Each structure stands twice: as structure tokens, then as C-alpha cells.
Structure 1
Amino acid sequence: MVTTRLISVLSFSGILGAAAASAAPYPYPFESCRPSKTGKGHVCVQNYIAGAVSGGQEFVDYGQCEVVREQRPYWFVPPKGGDDPNDPRLQDPVFKKEYSWVVAQIRSVGCSCCHTAKSGVKSTKWDLDSPGVFADQLSAFGLAVFTGENVDFHRLARFDPKDNYGFDQSKTAVPTQDPERFKAFFMAEATRRGITADELRAQRRFPGGIFDVVKDQPTTACEPGLGVHADGSVHWGQAAARYVYIMKKGTENPLGPPSLHRPEGTIWSLRMISAAEPLVSGIPYGTRPMGGRQEVPALDQKPEPLKQGETYKLFVAKDMLQTAVNCEFVFNAD
């Protein structure tokens, strides 16, 4: 039996906006717990691509990979190479030790949900179960991501290692308990191929695409009628919304949880759980409707009153990374 508990404070790294291609809402990260395979206690895990279990255990044994694959859309691309069990590198005890450690680290995180048959689907692009060395299946871009050389860590939402069994995502795109050791393995693979660090950094930035669209979208002046009205109702037009923000002027656009969904300057943030219907325009500022989760401020607190004549930012999303409104308004209490 799986025990599920929504974690609003960890409510998160590197989201592609899967809901854009589906009628189903984006499945927000949550924690679930299963009995430990050791027979002692339970193992709890954040169901997200960067969620982890303690080193030596496998995410697929405790996490809900079907959720992870909804958050980061899965499609099958056959892995190429890495299928030689007699690869001479595997006869080198030093290489074999490091390779085994790297594979075990990746198996411990949600990223493995798309890269091992144990998760219930075919491995796409690269396969941890390959009889040879799976690193052979990585492109130059893949090596850049694994080494962190092309990663914009300001746009990569991640867990605090202390909340994620020590798995750190501050230096490589894949969380690991030893970033320097992890990076060194894949830098060595790049060197073996004759790929320099500069060439890795020249690969297209990760994460990019929809992250750049949302992060860099300019904030405009609100159209008449949009913003918070004198009676405290919040208006954003016709779009049904799952995320509503009232922010200070100049606040950065929010990205995804667990670390980029509440940018500094957020005054009030509300999201709807996946099972709830989306919001319609006109909800009261600072309230929490049925099925809503207040992210900012803390659940038991009220947001600060808006000040007469002050300029604020209204940011509304139809779903994760699907901006509906991004504008500034002047609050008029009269």
C-alpha cells in the first residue's frame, strides 16, 4: 500500500509543462512512502524527476514513476551503443568501481524512471541496464547535461540536499551525493571522446525551451479591469487558472517547484490541487477556495494588505508553465 501526502512546501526541478499536451492537470510533486525492502520501517520519496531515495536503493522501488513521466513527458527513442558486455573498460577495476557507483546514484533518483526497464517502460535514449557502458549512448549534449557544463542552475528547480537524502543538484543536472565525483566521471568520458569543456559549454543551454519562454516573458501593463479590485476580488480575464500570484512590482516570473515557484517578492500565491477544478476570475484576495493550496504566505497566515496607489504584479497560469496573464496594475481601494 502506498501512503501519499501532499507537501506544500516541497510543492517542484526542470519541469516541461506536460499538462500542455494533456487535458489532465500537471501532477504536482508529492511525497509517498512504502515499506522498506529491508523490512524495517518505511522509505519516503518525493515523486519528481529529482526526488531521491537513500544511496544504494532504487527510486523505482519506492517512487511513483507514472507520476514522474507525466511531469517530464516520456517518449521512446532507442538507445544506441553501450551494448558490449566485453567492453575492456569494464575489466579495469578503477573504471568499474566508478561506473558502478555512477549507475547506482542514478538509479536512486527519479530520473531513472525513463532509463530502466524496471520502471515498467522501455529505456529511452540511454539505458542503465545496458550490458556495456551506458555513457556511450550519451550525445555531446547529454554529456554537457551530466557534467553540468551547459546547465543554467538559476533555472533548475531543485530540492535542498538535506530534504533529499543528501542528493545535490547544484553542480550537475542529475542529483548526486557527490557532485565532484559524479562530474569527474562524465568529464573523463568527454575527454575520451576528444570533447573539451568549452565544447560542452557551447551546447544548447539546459533547461531551455519553455523555461526560457516563461522566465523571460516580459511583464506588461494590465488591461483595464485586471488586477485586484477595491472589493478585494482578483480578476484576470476569461482563462481558467490553476496558479494565481500577487507579487511586488518587478518580481521575477515563477517557474516550477520545489525552489523556483515562490520567487522573492511574492505576496500571495495560490494553486489548485490536481483533483480540483481550475479557478475562475474574481476570487477574493487572500482566501483559499476548496481544493486550493496557499503557497505564500504560510498556510496559517494572511497575506499583507495591498496599499493604495502601489503597483503590483498579477501572474496567472492555466497550468504549470502555461502563462495566462503577466501584468502590473495599480491598486485602488476607493
Structure 2
Amino acid sequence: MTARSDVMEDATQANNGTPPLSATLGGEQKRSVEQIALLLFITVPFLALVAAVPLAWGWGVSWLDLGLMVFFYFLGCHGITIGFHRHFTHGSFKAKRPLKIALAIAGSMAVEGPLVRWVADHRKHHKFSDAEGDPHSPWRFGETLPALIKGLWWAHIGWLFDEEQTPQDKYAPDLIKDPALRTVSRQFVLWTAVSLALPPLIGGLVTMSWWGAFTAFFWGSLVRVALLHHVTWSINSICHAVGKRPFKSRDRSGNVWWLAILSCGESWHNLHHADPTSARHGVERGQLDSSARLIRWFEQFGWAYDVRWPSRSRIDSRRNTDGNGSRRGKATADAA
């Protein structure tokens, strides 16, 4: 897109009452500097994750470092699952203004990209799920084993480097029109810095040492971000390639139980694609879904309302009846 076309498009959107694309962070193409920054934010935390095991064996890991890693992991994870995903993308519930802003900031601290871009990408994914147009389907290159291996890499990481981006004004106009959410999205770099700086700041102050700050940064910032990234990306790759499919969906989304805790309930992916606006994804007995539990608490506190909890009849109406699903458990209609 040329500079002239950018100006013309911005002017057209302004005339239509829609804020221009320049009001958000990132347009419809990734610039070289964004590609480089993305590469750094993927490789550096990943190297820390690889080094974590031998370093833990040699140094050990303190309870403070472990606590910081767990706290900031689940803060960012729930910011993504409850905020970016269930609330902003699918409208599974409505949130009072303070909660809405808090979820936008918490999701930004997961370091997975600006709010508006994240939501636009995910809405496009649901529109074309596992078909042509899906930004990150593992079946993109075919169904042979070599094609699937290539597709899994694409769905997990490769698609992030695709220069062509989802049109934000088409897939997330509601967020672009909201000044506060637009601001949080534009401040992604700021919230990334806050997310990475808080663990070493806390670690250094508690231990009153630079070493305490360093180890807190290693575990609470780098390892935490890398682990959260790969768990989130696994929903795009693993959960669209394997897993049980007890519910009817038009794609290959599956339930992967061993990712449930780390993904905060997102890996019950088959139900989500069968009923995208449901506030609860793990609807069978024993399917842990911490995101749904927190939404229930938000509702009880009066911070969330109009929550779309799945009824038993709604769940049963989406069950596979052709024998191609997996075992059928008794569904729970409650949120948690």
C-alpha cells in the first residue's frame, strides 16, 4: 500500500466516522522493523526457556522466582483468554468499563501483539477456520504427513511473519471506534515493557540485590513469556490437528486435555468452535476451565453481565451423533 493510498483510505474512513487505521498500532502490512522485533521477542524468550532446565539444575529456582513466573503467567494468560478472546473477540459477556480496560491491559502484558490486531486475526480465523483464508490452519498445505508437518510449523509460528495482515477496519471496527481500547492497543510497546520490567523490579526490591533482579527477569519475564507464547500457539497448531471431537464443528478443532491448565481452559477447543460465543469451553465434567471460573466471579461481583453460559440443551444440540466424535460425557450446564 502506498503512502498516497494510506492517506486516501484514512480520509475515507474519517468521512465515514471511523477512526483511520493510523489510529491503531500496525496497518495491513508488517514493516521490516516489526518483523525484526517479532523475531527477537520469539527467539530470546525461547532461548531462555531452553536454558531453564540446565540452569534450574545448576542454580535451583527460588520460591520468589517461581511465584513471579506463575503469577505473571496466569495474569497474561487470563488477559488473553478472558479479555482478548472470550470478551473482545466473541462477546461471551459484557464488562463494566474498569474491567474492560483491565482485561485489555492484562492481555497486552501477555506480549502477543496489540489488542486490535489480535482480535482481527482471530475473528478472521473463525470465519475461515481450517479453510482457505484462515491465517493459521495447520492444514494449509494439504493432508499428507510432510504437508501437515509444514502446516503445523506455519500454524504455530510461521504465520506470525506473514507480511499481509488482517484488515483491522473490517474485522475489528468496534474496537477501533472505542477511544480507550484504541489507546491500549497503540500502547502495546509500553505494556510489553511493563510486563518485562515488573518481575525484576519486584525481585530486586525483595532481595535487595542485582542477582535477585536478574533471576526474576530470567524466570518471571523471559521463561514466562516463552512458555505462554508456545501454549497459546499450540491452540492454533496442536488443537487443530489432534484431539477428541465430541461436538459438531465445520473444522478440525479438537479437545487436548493436557493443555487445559496451562491454556486456562482454551484447549477444550472443539466445543469453542462448535459454540464460539460460549463463556465456558470445558463443558464436560472434570474439564478444568479457570477462565470460566473467573468470569463467574466477575459476574457475582457485578463486574460482568449478560454472560453467555451454555445450557444443557444447547450443549447437547451440538453433540456429534455420527460416531465420528469421541466418548460422550455428561455435560454440566453450570459455569464452574
TM > 0.5 fold call? no
Rg larger in structure: 1
Greater relative contact order (CA < 8 Å, ≥ 6 in sequence): 2
Higher strand share: 1
TM-score range, shorter-chain basis? under 0.3
